Amino acid sequence: MTKLIIFDFDGLIIDTEVPEYQSWREVYEIYGVELPLSTWIPIIGLGSEAFDPYAHLQSLLDFPVNRDEVRNVRAPRHKSLIDTQPVLPGVHDYITDAKSLGMALGVASSSSRKWVVGHLDRLGLAEHFDVIKCKDDVGSAKPDPASYLAVLNDLEISHEDAIALEDSVHGVQAARGAGIFCLAIPNPLTQGSDFSHASLKTESLKALSLRELLAVKESHAV
């Protein structure tokens, strides 16, 4: 019986992935170089240590890059893009339905706790989650399953009684690595990725209700 729904954060609750890429792509364009999507997609869901966009930008130029100058240009643009992002379709419905069914709710993220909790507070969602585990809580980012295992451990719930919701390939790997049934909901940047390792895939949470998802999971368990 499913007792727990675990959400990823970036790209799943709100679309922070497109603003992150767009703000960096615009910075690269200022310097007359490109940041192709093919370079960005492989690092989605891995955490900030996986790719240093400052160092990569520097490698494309023959003059020094001042990180503070880049930061001063990108940071306000990044913030303005994220601040306009709504909670993604179906998220509120999943939270409401999970609560009505007596399920626990968790978050497992490769981002920092300050980032995740700050946005959840801003969106009025933090109070709905029983456990939030981030990269700095567990010491590693996805595809390491540590954040998922920490959520399960804190709530004393078996992996068999949980469902993970993920938008990235590395996130799905982390959830499956923890033995959790995982629904993949690709974001605009990851929709062309291979999600064959996910338990199930849908275009949005709005397209598949929680009750429908539970029915599919039950059929897989038979």
Active centre residues (catalytic): 8, 10
Measure the CA–CA gap between 196 and 209, rounded to whole angstroms: 21
Non-local CB neighbours of 174 within 8 Å, separated by 6+ positions: 108, 142, 143, 144, 145, 147, 148, 166
Measure the CA–CA gap between 182 and 157, rounded to whole angstroms: 16
- State the DSSP code for 88: P
> Dihedrals φ, ψ of 14, to 5°?
-135, 155
| Bridge partner residues of 162 (DSSP) | 4
Measure the CA–CA gap between 208 and 108, rounded to whole angstroms: 21
Task: Give the residue from 111, 140, 121, 132 showing the smallest Cα distance to 48.
Answer: 111
> Dihedrals φ, ψ of 146, to 5°?
-55, -40
Measure the CA–CA gap between 166 and 209, rounded to whole angstroms: 15
Measure the CA–CA gap between 88 and 14, rounded to whole angstroms: 5
Measure the CA–CA gap between 79 and 31, rounded to whole angstroms: 21
Give the count of beta carbons closer than 10 Å to the beta carbon of residue 182: 27
